[in-house]
Chains A and B, each alone.
Chain A
Amino acid sequence: MTRYLVRRILATPLLLLGVATVAFFLSNVVRGDPLASILPERQMDNPAAVAAAKARWGLDRPLPERYVVYLGNLAEGDLGTSFRTKRPVSRDLLERLPATLELVVAAMLFGSVVGTGLGVVAAHFRNGVIDHGARFIALIGSSVPVFWSGLLALYLFSVELSWAPGPGRLDPALPRPDGPTGFYTIDALLAGNWAVFSSALAHLALPAIMLGWAVLGIISRIVRASMLDVLGQDYILTARSKGASTVRILVRHALRNAMVPALTIIGFSFAYLITGAILTETVFSWPGIGSYAVDAARSLDHPAIIGVTLIGALAFLIANLLTDIAYVFANPRIHLD
């Protein structure tokens, strides 16, 4: 077990090197002109301007040389300067990461809480109408394209019903909370600013629910299965015979034990949510990593593309690793080597 983990952790930098290499060459062989976000359209036919811009941004060097330079900088933690924003990519990513994480964590919370609830209810009313209904809701969540459900939700709740605010993270007239976490909700709470907190929470609710719906299915299903497993065991029957109430049995005895396998799934869901975040951020104008990735890809911003891919891959690898570890702890019979 320990050996397996050490091997996995040691392999992570190598995998990231592979990812950086693939991303570097892919973004460089893409047909297109990365000067699009550096030079005005009018200047693209001016050879002097094109040559000057290429030299300025190092694009006149041969590809292998640029690759070596890039890796050298990467080793020092320098992800380069974005062609599009003209700022260090690492700074762009650091500014946007909290937005994505806040969205993903909120979606995860929604998915876990509601998913667990649905799972418990479904297990209790096993094979009844409520069971099928709960699972149907869960299944729709994993089948619906989030870019469509997001649009629909925005139209319905924001335009028609005016229950939710429009896209974005915060009412623009309000000051950005300046806090240690970068999560607007938490930073506003820490500062005790209720107007900012409620605006941030209201903006967060819709995208987080739409995104979290997708993982609700996994969680409710796992919880239901393990609940059924646990409910049939002796100590539950004992508790029941002692006259404990249904709620007490379900929550105190069964859910507690059933949660272990559900926890293992959170790693998976997290990685899934990072993918879903790209589309959700596009629909909800959420200024996170996902919309940054789309903008970077559109403008062929090489340093930003590689940077955002590395961050995504790192999150993905960590989530997978955590899942594996959780898996082992939850199922001691499985051993990895």
Chain B
Amino acid sequence: MTDRVAPRPWRLALPSMGGGWPLVLGLLVVGFWVTVAATVSLWPLDDPLQMVAKRLQPPSAAHLLGTDALGRDVLSRTLHGATFSIAIAIVVVVAAAAIGIFLGAIAGFFGGILGGAIMRLVDVTLAFPPILLAMAVAATLGPGLENAAIAMILVWWPLYARLMRAQVLEVREREHVEAAVAAGAGPFRVLFKHVLPLCFTPVLINATMDFGQVVLLAASLSFIGLGATPPTPEWGAMISEGAKQFYHWWIALGPGLAILTVVLGFNFVGDGLRDLLDPQTD
């Protein structure tokens, strides 16, 4: 095997839960948050952007998670935050996987100067600690969730490219591919018909496991001021506001628990899927 795929550590940070309940639990949690993200505007909640009560009130029956420095309802803001986090996770993972699959397949199948160039770009990108590169790119593009998403796509695609290339290299050597080539099929036909379909499973598994990590990185960027702009109720930004009002602990409680459960849910699902689709790992 050449160029063994070195997965980033967080891939391994997900302890396999073995049995089936983690998948079920994960699907339930993720399902809950996806539902919230899709329907939150229909819920009978306070306006997440407007002052609805006295500022900095601790949790009470009227405001279960209290109010923030501008008198906004923390519960409502936390639930509205799901929209941004779920959307950004989907966009980043799908875009990064698409770019990575495309470039990785080209590099693996055709090789040559183009393939070499792609892989050197992958090497340099992966030499950066991910958060440093994301910080630099996000700072270059300016504040805003869209720009944070672009930064994360730029950080993430090389992982898929490397994975895809390794897969393609392996599949290319199989007999049925060689037979197709011998039968006179064109290179693109061979690539799309005979090679790619066999490469997708590991990429898919990785993608499902990445959702949670993208949610975490997006929140981290917002926390250090490089993601969502106010008054967007994004979880990382809300925790950052809560950190400034440290003694009013409830401001950061809701968004923190939200991130924790979403990431945990995605991790359960990804892990369960891996056991389901790819039983020989672990």
Question: Do A and B touch each other in the complex, judged by CB within 8 A?
Answer: yes
Report A's interface with B, CB cutoff 8 A. Answer: 11, 15-16, 18-19, 22-23, 26-27, 29-31, 127, 132, 135, 138-140, 142-145, 147-149, 151-152, 154-155, 159, 214-215, 217-218, 220-222, 224-225, 265, 268-269, 271-272, 274-275, 278-279, 282-283, 293-294, 297, 305, 308-309, 312-313, 315-317, 320, 323-324, 334-337
Is B113 close to A, CB under 8 A?
no
Q: Is the CB of A272 within 8 A of B9?
A: yes
- Within residues 239 to 282 of chain B, which ones have a CB less than 8 A from any CB in chain A? 239, 242-243, 246-247, 249, 252-253, 255-256, 259-260, 263-264, 267-268, 282
Q: Which residues of A contact B264 (CB under 8 A)?
A: 139-140, 143
Is B179 close to A, CB under 8 A?
no
Query: A147 and B239 in contact (CB under 8 A), knowing A19-B127, A29-B140, A217-B13?
Result: yes
Residue of A at shortest CB range from B267? A143
Q: Is the CB of A312 within 8 A of B129?
A: yes
Query: A279 and B127 in contact (CB under 8 A), knowing A23-B136, A145-B239?
Result: no
5 contacts between A and B (CB under 8 A): A31-B142, A151-B239, A152-B249, A271-B129, A336-B4
Cβ-defined partner of A148 (8 Å) among B14, B127, B224, B239: B239
Q: Is the CB of B139 within 8 A of A15?
A: no
Q: Which residues of B contact A317 (CB under 8 A)?
A: 127
Q: Which residues of A contact B60 (CB under 8 A)?
A: none
Distance in angstroms between the alpha carbons of A215 and B10 in the assembled complex: 9
Q: Which residues of B contact A31 (CB under 8 A)?
A: 140, 142
Distance in angstroms between the alpha carbons of A129 and B123 in the assembled complex: 43
Residue of B at shortest CB range from A273? B9
Q: 8 new A-B pairs (CB below 8 Å) besides A19-B124, A155-B249, A159-B247?
A: A139-B267, A142-B14, A144-B263, A148-B260, A149-B256, A151-B246, A309-B136, A313-B129
Distance in angstroms between the alpha carbons of A323 and B135 in the assembled complex: 26
- Within residues 190 to 221 of chain B, which ones have a CB less than 8 A from any CB in chain A? 212, 216, 219-220
Residue of A at shortest CB range from B219? A145
- Within residues 1 to 16 of chain B, which ones have a CB less than 8 A from any CB in chain A? 1-2, 4, 6, 8-10, 12-16
Q: Is the CB of B243 within 8 A of A218?
A: no
Q: Is the CB of B15 within 8 A of A145?
A: no
Query: Shortest CB–CB separation between residue B237 and chain A, in angstroms?
Result: 12
Q: Is the CB of A265 within 8 A of B12?
A: yes
Distance in angstroms between the alpha carbons of A293 and B136 in the assembled complex: 10
Q: Is the CB of A275 within 8 A of B129?
A: yes
Report B's interface with A, CB cutoff 8 A. Answer: 1-2, 4, 6, 8-10, 12-19, 120, 123-124, 127-132, 135-137, 139-140, 142, 212, 216, 219-220, 223-224, 236, 239, 242-243, 246-247, 249, 252-253, 255-256, 259-260, 263-264, 267-268, 282
Query: A283 and B243 in contact (CB under 8 A), knowing A29-B140, A218-B9, A265-B12?
Result: yes
Q: Is the CB of B15 within 8 A of A152?
A: no
Distance in angstroms between the alpha carbons of A2 and B282 in the assembled complex: 28
Q: Which residues of A contact B247 (CB under 8 A)?
A: 155, 159
Cβ-defined partner of B260 (8 Å) among A15, A140, A220, A271: A140
Nearest 8 interchain pairs by C-beta: A221-B15, A18-B124, A148-B256, A272-B9, A268-B9, A143-B263, A142-B13, A143-B264
Q: Which residues of B contact A135 (CB under 8 A)?
A: 15, 17
Residue of B at shortest CB range from A19? B127
Query: Shortest CB–CB separation between residue A269 and chain B, in angstroms?
Result: 6
Q: Which residues of B contact A155 (CB under 8 A)?
A: 246-247, 249
Distance in angstroms between the alpha carbons of A294 and B132 in the assembled complex: 9
Q: Is the CB of B130 within 8 A of A145?
A: no
Distance in angstroms between the alpha carbons of A297 and B221 in the assembled complex: 13
Q: Which residues of A contact B16 (CB under 8 A)?
A: 221, 225
Distance in angstroms between the alpha carbons of A149 and B256 in the assembled complex: 8
Distance in angstroms between the alpha carbons of A334 and B1 in the assembled complex: 8
Query: Shortest CB–CB separation between residue A114 and chain B, in angstroms?
Result: 14
Q: Is the CB of B267 within 8 A of A142?
A: yes
Q: Is the CB of A148 within 8 A of B15?
A: no
Residue of A at shortest CB range from B223? A147
